[in-house]
Structure 1
Amino acid sequence: MSMIKRIAIVAFASSVVGLMPQASNAEAAASLAVGPQYDTTHVYIAPSNVDRFVKSFLETFGGTSTKQAVVTVTPTPSLTSSQLLLTSVGSLSIFGFRTPVPYPFGFERTGYLVRDMDTAVQAARAAGAAVLVTMFPDAIGRDTIIQWPGGVNMQLYWHTKAPSYPALQTVPENRVYVPPERAMEFVRDFDRFAGGVVVSDDAQAPGAEIGRPGDTYRRIRIVSPFGNMTVLVTDGHLPYPYGHEMTGYAVSDLAATIVKAKAAGAALLSGPYAVDARLAAMLEFPGGYIAEVHSSAP
């Protein structure tokens, strides 16, 4: 074998190893993660729209809501209504703040339930995350907010009494937009923490997925014990509403879901369109929550 071929093989192997988690990372993440049904999308809604949003979302996807309570969920004084939506396609934490929202709350996209907060925070820091809000107690456990390279904020939380939610029929995808300069740093660091596996990395993904038909962009899909993630690497030239959605929901019949959503007061912003063996659309629910919804293409 020539020296050039040896160098090429070593370089390729090194790049793959850089994307794939080590066994110890995967095992550690599996011991931290509780399950994707406990990873909630954080939805901030004006108090006057909370009930309309909850009704619309549940009529579209089915599921249940916990009883609404007015509580403090931040380490500094504030007041919000809080409730949890449990559906077969994903879980949502709904906040209707009655007071101004303390920074940086409202910028975190998801809450990941962990089995041990101290270990999880230590693991996140070791993987490259910054702790934006140090650990603080709430009425039912403890919370923290961390930030990954590329400006991706998320909450880690722990409950004093372990919750029990039904398993999901389909696992939603956390849709993360990052710039090219931070994409691989984000993927590397998040995978170290979450035990994630890059299942696809398409440098020529169809631009229709981000509202730019005829163009291409880079799309990376990750699966971890915490759930699914799609990393959308873009130049930021995004037509509305792309980039505003935080979660993509998988359904069995997209057309039927759109009919239900419209009947429940949601608006169809984009689609349906066929890309990457999917039919997909963008919906806006009462109160302004935007979601990507997709099904397998025929």
Structure 2
Amino acid sequence: MLYRAEDISLSEDFTSDTVNVALYAREGWDVDDLERFCGLYQHGFRTYMKSPLNVMKVQPGMARFFRSTFLAFVPAEETLCDIFELHLANFHCDVSERQRFDEIPHLQTTTYSLGVKSCFQHNLFTRHPLTGKIIRHRHPYTTLPKFTLPVHPCIAALRAGCLISFSPDASPVSKTLLAITRYHARCSGDILPRRRPTKALPATTSTFSSSSSQSMVSTAASSRSSASTVPSESSNPGSSNQDTGRPRKRKLSTDSVVESPRAVKLQRRIPCVAGASSATRNISNAAKSSRRPSEHIHRLGVRCA
């Protein structure tokens, strides 16, 4: 009697609310191998993602172990041999001449055994499809029954390849499955490279770089213009200081400072309050002496007398 995927559980409680688990839910290097060796074009497996050939129903507690490949259903040995022959034939012929995996009649159905990773040691329970009898199975699970699945054997075989360990002391689940996995690893570099979408730079990066370059250019231009106007203000300091009596404070720009490509050396202005006041007193004394020369001479004469 063949069991179904929903007839195995981690406990004695079986429910009719099963969970759909896809053998491959997204694209990756393993899906690329499936397309190369099973006669599909690039991205041809997208139409099979939600197909019954890729989805099986399991108990809720078993879903996470199938998704993380702690458990996998392995096709029968004779089916694995036929799958290996298909992979060899498709690899050595042109892409247009490859045979699709879903067009081969004798590869549509097969029996499966449950493959388990060595680190998985939970108790498993099986339920008979007709009688409902529940049986417990302990590690190393030598009494597990055979299963039947709606998924395609080629997809299931590639998924079961994740159970294979390449270490010499590890016992493989199947020698033919080990040969298929090693063949994929050896020939993956000999296949023509597939197109990969290149990540385009975000628009904000180019916008920021262009705006930064524009701001640097404008800042450099403004600094050069301000440097050219500094000597004109300091050329005649007395004219502005005579009106107010103190130096006029220079207003600094409050714009954001960006490092300009060309540094401008500014000379420090020295206030000339003392010089202006002494010059003013000399001019006023000279004016007074020029206005009243007789009085000044008379005072000198009196002092001399």
Pairwise TM-score range, normalised by the shorter structure: under 0.3
The structure with the largest strand share of the pair is 1
Q: TM-score, normalised by structure 2?
A: 0.24
The structure with the largest helix share of the pair is 2
Bigger Rg over Cα: 2
Q: TM-score, normalised by structure 1?
A: 0.24
